[in-house]
Structures are given as C-alpha cells and as structure tokens.
Amino acid sequence: MNAESFKEFKKVSEELIHSEDWFSFAVAEFEGPVGERINRYIFHHPGAVGVVPIEDGKIVLVRQYRPALEMEMLEIPAGKLDIEGEEPEKAAHRELIEEAGLDASRLEELCSFYNSAGFSDEKTVIYLATEMTRVDKIAASVEEQYMTTERVPLEDVYELIDSGYITDAKTIIGIYSAMRFIGR
C-alpha cells in the first residue's frame, strides 16, 4: 500500500459520546479505500504546550502527582490549551509562570507532535525558554499547589532518561529537542 491509498480513507460520520469543559469523546465511522467500514473512538483534545526552561546550565523541571498513574512524575512545565483563543506561545508563558515561577522573555518553538495518534487528536507544541526572571507561581490546580521544581544540570539529563527516571514522553521529546537546538 502506498501513501496515495491513505487519501482514499474518509470520515463518514461522528457521534458525540461525552463532552466536558475541555475535551470530548466520540465514535466515528470511516470508509476505507475499497468501501470497508470501520468505527474508531476518538478523544478530542484542544492541544497542549510544553516548555524546556534552561538557565545557568540547568533544565528546570517540575515534579507533580499524576492521578492517572497514581505517582509523581518529573516533567517539563506543560499544560492544556484550555483557554478559548489562546495561542500556544502565550499558553507556554502562562504555564511556565504557573508551574515553575519563571517568566521567559524569549521562547523558541522547537517542535510539535501528536501525543497518541491512534485515538486522540491532541497535539503538543514544545518551546525552549531562556532569558528568564523569577516570578510568583500561580497554581491553577490542586496538583500544581504541591508541585516542586528541580534544576538538573544539562550533563545529567540524558542519564535521567536512559535510566528510566524520566519517562514522560513530552519531557523526553522536549529535552532531546532542546539539547539538539543548543548543540548539546
């Protein structure tokens, strides 16, 4: 099958199953290249941003509790695009302040990716933050109230990934993209 054959797939219908503040869940029917019909569940997500803040030779990471996993994770500051009309870069600034207590005068877009293309349309945009100043954190959730920050030397971040200590996908993608961007 070549790439051209994928153009022959088309959505026939979609039925909303459930909707909340910022997400929805639906079942959609698709028609394949020779008329076959398939149903797929789709989690619609507004998208997200992640920020790799680097200051003084260290990456600033946040440690927060993740209820779905019932554990704490070490991650880059990140969050949903859940404010109507908010551009990703503005959301990145907001999340950096909320989670790390940092405001960046410089953000560089590093990459974007689809988190789980098999069932969700969520897309995450990753930024590099530099030239930062400390500001008061503005926790927007219960988890963020208990979030802590950790500064990891650049020379140690690969080992944290390789050892399985950092397992969050956006964090791994963000760190590798940032390190490549800065030539490390």
Strand order in the sheet with 37-44: 10-19, 24-31, 37-44
What is the maximum span of the chain, computed from C-alpha positions, in angstroms?
A: 58
**For 6, which DSSP code?**
G
| Intra-chain end-to-end CA distance of the chain, in Å | 39
Q: Is the distance from CB of 171 to CB of 74 less than 8 angstroms?
A: yes
29 catalytic? Reply is no
The span from the CA of 94 to the CA of 102, in Å, is: 9
Reduced to 3 states (helix: H, G, I; strand: E, B; else coil), residue 156 is: helix
Q: Which of 29, 52, 48 is nearest to 40 (CA)?
A: 29
Catalytic site residue from 89, 143, 144, 150: 143
Name the pairing type of β-strands 48-55 and 123-134. parallel
CB atoms within 10 A of CB 99: 28
Catalytic positions: 143
